[in-house]
Structure 1
Amino acid sequence: MASQRLLKRFAAPALLAGLLPLAAHAAGGGGAYPAKPVEVVVPWTPGQATDIAARALTEHLTTAMGKSFFITNKPGAGGAVGSAAVARAPADGYTLLAGSTGSVVVSPLLNETNYTADDFVPAAMIAKSPSILITATSFPAKNVQELIALLKKNPGKYSFASSGNGSATHLMAEAFNLGYGIQATHVPYKGSSAAMTDLVTGRVDYMFDTVASVAGQVKAGKVRAYAISSKDRSAAMPDVPAIAEVTELKDFDIASWIGLMAPKGTPQDVLDRIAAASQKYLETPAAREKFLGMGLAVSPMDNARFKQVADGEVDLYSKLLKQLGLARQ
């Protein structure tokens, strides 16, 4: 009898101890994910294309997955500030990065950062985002040929803005300048909103910015759109020709991706849940129409394909930065 009492006394705590890891797994990323709100860090200021896309998707994920997916903006250093914060976060699926080519791929190649692209794993591809070459409407060049001629004729006189060192818009402008031997001063900002403000007021002269950010300003008559960075025109702004279409740079084709990334080590089942919910939504006509209205082309794909895209861009931009003489030594 004494032995039976001892067995009962110690069996319950032992059983409880054995169940605790299972409960913790369920709460952190197993069948119950998400069991609490999920923070999605946007490493840019509000209003930038990554921010716009992430807000649209997280609104859907909040409904579809039953817990809040909320946005936190952490801009700075070409997307490196917010990206580094996510890279250091627990790999449990409750802190995600609204990543892009610039913040995930380019920034670590260009600048001293405490993370690399390998510190993240794909959670959900959202969209592809080409950019448009723009100036204020008061700028004297009326088309891209006039713009190129003016910039080439006045080396060092003009300046170009970007959403930050290492951002895709920075590299698009550098590649454009290199292609035509243009010498201009780079003025980096903490996001495209501030850059756009200074462009409109004439503090800087030209820049590349995403279709999502530019479309409204073009319609309002505040900026002039010259050409788009991708080889194909954007369905959102079909009247704007591609650079490859109207200049000598026939191979110019640069468009950044936008997607949710997670810290390396995040459970695969968590990543699969996020990807499945995102892909199901992005494949609907309603989602395609909504994102097109924001100047973005949805690009739903599984995470294996997303990883191939990101890895391919590491190679692409490594070579481009070396060619431009901008690669970090």
Structure 2
Amino acid sequence: MKNRCYSLRNVLAIAFLCVAMLWTASASAEDKFPTKQLTYVVTFDPGGQSDREARRQQKYLHQSLGQQIVVDYVVGGGGAVGWKELTRTKPDGYTFYTINTPHIILQPMQQNVGYKTEQIVPVAMFQSTPLGLAVNADSPFKTVDDLLAAAKKDPGGVTIGGSAAFSGHHMATLRLEKLADVHFSYVPFTGSAPQMTAILGGHVDAVFANSDDLVRFKDKLRVLAFSTEQRFPHFPDAPTLKEKGFNMVDSIDRGVGVPLNTPAEAIATLEKAFLEISNNPDIQKEMRDQGFVPLSMGHAASVEYIKKVTAEYTELANSIKK
């Protein structure tokens, strides 16, 4: 009888141990991020830079994270509609959004757009597009001087298109107005795709456009100048605005962000996946060939970068208002 009791106790102990091990394994699996499908929200029109980059990254994210990646769209307000939604999204890491600087800085600085820059937590920044000033290939404006002369002669009569109000494109237009002492009519679009459709269709006189768009449509456009420190490699004959006497360096930088209070573990996992992609030599070559400038900034570096750019644009915005 005594041996039977010991045997029963042993069986119960083993059973309890097995249950405990199963529970621990189950809890561990639940805690490991990610365990289900993730959503990559693009905040600009399909076909634009953010969309094309998300599509490029999609398969690599699937391989790295081991889960399906669904690309979705929340478009409007030059990204503002999507970033407003970002701040109201469940902070679990399963939904992340495209972010652009300086858009996420300038928009809340200029008006109430339903979100604040500090409500967006950057995961990584992986791409930049310097801005170039361009016209249609059959435009009467052959040089920057021609465009500025027309603007001086007819204030507000020359239209410049850009991606959204209170964006990097808008700020570049305002800076050139101030430095050249001219006045343009700025025409905002919901993204770069409709912006380029407008210039190709002759609906605006000029655009401050992203470098990759200028490369894509180089046979249909005339690039008057680049807002860069050095001449852009794809357009060695196009001067910089600095060469023309205007101290301007402007670009649109892209990454992804999540809401405040997203777990650090989730941010770190996403950060690692995006940095693996941005550090891939083949992807970097693809980007350069297409007219992009590759970036590779993780969470901490992106936070510091956004702080730096915020300070710069705060000062710049104040100087333009004067």
Scaled to the shorter chain, the TM-score interval is 0.7 to 0.9
Match of 1:218, SS? Answer: coil
Structure 2 residue aligned with 1:178: 178
> Which of 88-97 and 281-290 deviates more?
281-290
After superposition, residues 253-292 of structure 1 pair within 5 angstroms as 253-292=249-288
After superposition, residues 23-38 of structure 1 pair within 5 angstroms as 27=30, 30=31, 32-38=32-38
Contact 1:78 1:102 (C-alpha < 8 Å) held by counterparts: no
* Structure 2 CA distance for partners of 1:94 and 1:85, relative to 1, 3 Å: same
Structure 1 residue aligned with 2:245: 248
Contact 2:216 2:290 (C-alpha < 8 Å) held by counterparts: no
CA deviation after TM superposition for structure 1 residue 138, in Å? 2.2
Distance in 2, Cα, partners of 1:275 & 1:107: 25
CA deviation after TM superposition for structure 1 residue 25, in Å? 8.1
After superposition, residues 111-260 of structure 1 pair within 5 angstroms as 111-219=111-219, 221=220, 223-245=221-243, 247-249=244-246, 251-260=247-256
Distance in 1, Cα, partners of 2:252 & 2:59: 22
- 1:148-170 Cα shifts (integer Å, max 9, x gaps): 22222221211111111112111
Contact 2:278 2:296 (C-alpha < 8 Å) held by counterparts: yes
Distance in 2, Cα, partners of 1:159 & 1:127: 28
* Structure 2 CA distance for partners of 1:260 and 1:113, relative to 1, 3 Å: same
Q: Whose Rg is larger?
A: 2
Structure 1 residue aligned with 2:72: 72
Contact 1:43 1:73 (C-alpha < 8 Å) held by counterparts: yes
> Which of 228-237 and 283-292 deviates more?
228-237
- 1:115-139 Cα shifts (integer Å, max 9, x gaps): 1111111212111221111111222
CA RMSD of aligned residues (A): 2.6
Structure 2 residue aligned with 1:105: 105
Distance in 2, Cα, partners of 1:166 & 1:59: 33
Unpaired runs of at least 5, structure 2 = 1-11
Number of equivalent positions: 309
Match of 2:217, SS? Answer: helix
Match of 2:225, SS? Answer: strand
Contact 1:53 1:258 (C-alpha < 8 Å) held by counterparts: no
CA deviation after TM superposition for structure 1 residue 51, in Å? 2.2
CA deviation after TM superposition for structure 1 residue 33, in Å? 1.8
Determine what percentage of the aligned residue pairs are the same residue.
24
Structure 1 residue aligned with 2:300: 304
CA deviation after TM superposition for structure 1 residue 99, in Å? 0.4
- 1:190-223 Cα shifts (integer Å, max 9, x gaps): 112222222222221111110122211113x2x2
Instruction: Give the partner amino acid of 2:224.
Output: Y
After superposition, residues 48-87 of structure 1 pair within 5 angstroms as 48-87=48-87
Name the TM-score, length of structure 2 as normaliser: 0.87
Structure 2 residue aligned with 1:3: none
Contact 2:102 2:309 (C-alpha < 8 Å) held by counterparts: no
Name the TM-score, length of structure 1 as normaliser: 0.85
CA deviation after TM superposition for structure 1 residue 239, in Å? 4.0
* Structure 2 CA distance for partners of 1:76 and 1:230, relative to 1, 3 Å: same
Contact 1:236 1:292 (C-alpha < 8 Å) held by counterparts: no
